[in-house]
Amino acid sequence: MECDVHYAKTNLSKLLKQAELGEEVIITRSGQRFQLQVVAAIKPKPKFGTLRGKVKPVKESLLFAMPDDEADAFIEGRA
């Protein structure tokens, strides 16, 4: 799409939407052409279920608290 500066100023949101959809937008001023490239900075939201089969279940033993003596040994570097 090619348009002049006045049209671009009054219809910027429309031009941005077209650019986001992959359309080339060229803005002209006094016969000079300027090409603007808009790149979406927002990452698309992940779709539900995209991690199915990629995440492994947690071992049951990791769900319980560590005994105090074992925790102390870990913190002190004895474990």
CA-to-CA distance for 27 and 69, rounded, in angstroms?
Answer: 71
pLDDT confidence of residue 38: 61
- The widest CA-to-CA distance across the chain, in whole angstroms, is 80
pLDDT confidence of residue 40: 60
Number of domains observed in the structure of the chain = 1
CA 38 to chain centre: 15
Q: Which residue range(s) make up the domain with 32? A: 2-36
Q: Is residue 32 part of a domain?
A: yes
pLDDT confidence of residue 11: 93
pLDDT confidence of residue 27: 84
CA-to-CA distance for 17 and 38, rounded, in angstroms?
Answer: 9
Q: How confident is the model at residue 5 (pLDDT cuts 50, 70, 90)?
A: confident
pLDDT in tens, 11-57: 999 988 888 787 888 888 887 777 666 656 666 777 888 888 888 88
Q: Is residue 50 part of a domain?
A: no
Position 10 pLDDT exceeds 90: yes
